[in-house]
Amino acid sequence: MTGRPVALITGATAGIGAAFARELAKTHDLVLVARDRARLEAMAAELGGAEALPADLSTPEGCDLVAARLAATDRPVDLLVNNAGMSLNTSFLRSTVEREELLLRLNVNAVMRLTLAALPAMTARGRGDIINVSSVSGFAAMMPGSTYPASKAWVTNFSESTGQLVRPMGVRVMALCPGYTRTEFHDRAGIDMSKTPPWLWLDAGRVVRDGLRDLRKGKLVSVPDWKYKMVVFGVRHAPQGLLRRVSRSTRSRIGRGDH
């Protein structure tokens, strides 16, 4: 026992999850969650012996395992980062029920299950934080045929609603909504990002630092970087007809995600 607060991070071996782990290791004891046991244990060793919890959050058994750790009272979790997520490089018309349900189990159900597992202990203590990693793509239907943005729209709305509910109890819940971020995410989904302009890319470490800063400020939604703040403002306020025309022009970019 070090006396430091405890942070639990899902999807902790790569991308934004790994960036969260490296940043929070400076101030927290860590519980790292991922499917790949070897990579997870290597990350835990790199960070000075963090607790490694192998789990596949697309399965009920994996969610049950992590939910039990979140409900534990001997070393309570002070900060939960729901980062694990996936995209499909497939139009909905060419997809399958199995693949779509897999996406929903990981992007939506796991976020709900783990948030609900963490909140009772946090609200009872009168403190605690949850960051749900979402996406700027969730602010509008801008990727025709991709169901990834719909899953992230749920995460953002859920986080805002839950954050308002528990704020009077001393607990903060925030949706972190990055744009295109340099991670393994697109390669693992088989998505070709070679034509994306370099200026659109964000650094994962900067995304994490901006998100933690916005959490401390008490924001319900964090959109890192000024250019993506402008994108979200435009999406929220532009006429729907204009958004649909822009959306049609991006039809070839099915399945793009950003974390």
Domain extents for the chain? 6-253
Residues 106-117 have pLDDT tens digits of: 999 999 999 999
Question: What is the reported pLDDT for 57?
Answer: 98
Supply the DSSP symbol for 171: E
Residue range 168-178: mean pLDDT, rounded: 97
**Predicted confidence band at 212 (pLDDT cuts at 50, 70, 90)?**
very high
Within 8 A by CB and 6+ apart from 112, the residues are 158
Report the pLDDT averaged over residues 115-124.
97
The Cβ of residue 12 has, within 10 Å, a number of other Cβ atoms equal to: 32
Sign of CA dihedral 160, 99, 192, 144: negative
pLDDT tier, 209 (very low <50, low <70, confident <90, very high otherwise): very high
54-68, 113-127, 172-186, 198-212, range with the lowest pLDDT = 172-186
* Predicted TM-score (pTM) of this structure: 0.86
What is the arrangement of strands in the sheet containing 171-176, beginning at the earlier edge strand?
51-54, 29-34, 6-10, 79-82, 128-133, 171-176, 221-222
Query: Which pLDDT belongs to residue 256?
Result: 35
Kindly report the average pLDDT of the chain as a whole number: 87
Query: How much is the average pLDDT of 168-183?
Result: 89
Q: What is residue 235's predicted lDDT score, i.e. its pLDDT?
A: 73
Determine the pLDDT at residue 226.
Answer: 80
Question: What average pLDDT does the segment 158-176 reach?
Answer: 98
pLDDT score of 193: 52
pLDDT in tens, 125-146: 999 999 999 999 898 877 778 8
- For residue 252, what pLDDT is reported? 40
No. of H helices and E strands in the chain? 10, 7
Looking at residue 104, what is its pLDDT? 98
Chain segment 20-73, per-residue pLDDT in tens: 999 999 999 999 999 999 999 999 999 998 999 999 999 999 999 999 999 998
pLDDT at 202: 85
pLDDT of 205 higher than 60: yes
Catalytic residues: 148
Q: Which residues contact 223 (CB under 8 A, 6 or more apart)?
A: 136, 177, 178, 229, 232
**% of the chain at pLDDT higher than 90:** 68
- 125 contact partners, CB below 8 Å, separation of at least 6: 76, 170
Q: Which CATH superfamily is domain 6-253 in?
A: NAD(P)-binding Rossmann-like Domain (3.40.50.720)
